[in-house]
């Protein structure tokens, strides 16, 4: 996460430019909203009680991106990773044309999908089976493999 703040801040989060973005090429826009609640590590920790925070983060960050960088909300992907790169809940905001920050099947979950799943079932992410992909050689891959928990085809 970059120390360059976009200036967007709300109750419970801060929006910051990711190191992958130079903050000038709008088609490479890539920001992270980092949630301040240290008890929220990943989508597994979310419940219906977090919906107001998730809505606020989505709406205010999309508005801040539109105002500051002139990128309309229709051109911004908003998603979370599972498994995350680090365990502090954070939400990705990336330009649709930015391929480096593009959501990957088996790694990314749309924030709108997360919110809809929580509206339907308060404990959705506590009990859902979430498939994800990790590369061989990754520390998590080695740990899971050692315990016979990786399915190889």
Catalytic residues: 90
Closest alpha carbon to 113 in 133, 94, 99, 130: 130
Reduced to 3 states, what is the DSSP secondary structure of residue 38?
coil
Backbone angles phi, psi at 34, to 5 degrees: -100, 120
Closest alpha carbon to 10 in 91, 70, 77: 91
Beta-carbon contacts of 153 under 8 Å, excluding residues fewer than 6 positions away, are none
């Amino acid at each position: 996460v970059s120390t360059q703040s976009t200036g967007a801040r709300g109750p419970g989060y801060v929006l910051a430019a990711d190191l992958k973005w130079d903050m000038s090429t709008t088609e490479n826009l890539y920001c992270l909203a980092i949630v301040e609640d240290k008890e929220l590590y990943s989508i597994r920790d979310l419940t219906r009680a977090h919906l107001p925070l998730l809505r606020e983060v989505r709406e205010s960050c999309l508005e801040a991106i539109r105002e500051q960088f002139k990128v309309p909300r229709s051109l911004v992907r908003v998603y979370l990773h599972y498994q995350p790169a680090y365990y502090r809940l954070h939400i990705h905001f990336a330009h649709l044309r930015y391929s480096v920050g593009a959501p990957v099947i088996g790694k990314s979950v749309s924030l709108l999908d997360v919110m809809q799943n929580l509206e339907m079932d308060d404990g959705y992410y506590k009990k859902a089976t979430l498939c994800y992909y990790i590369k061989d050689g990754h520390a998590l891959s080695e740990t899971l493999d050692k315990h016979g928990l990786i399915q190889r085809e």
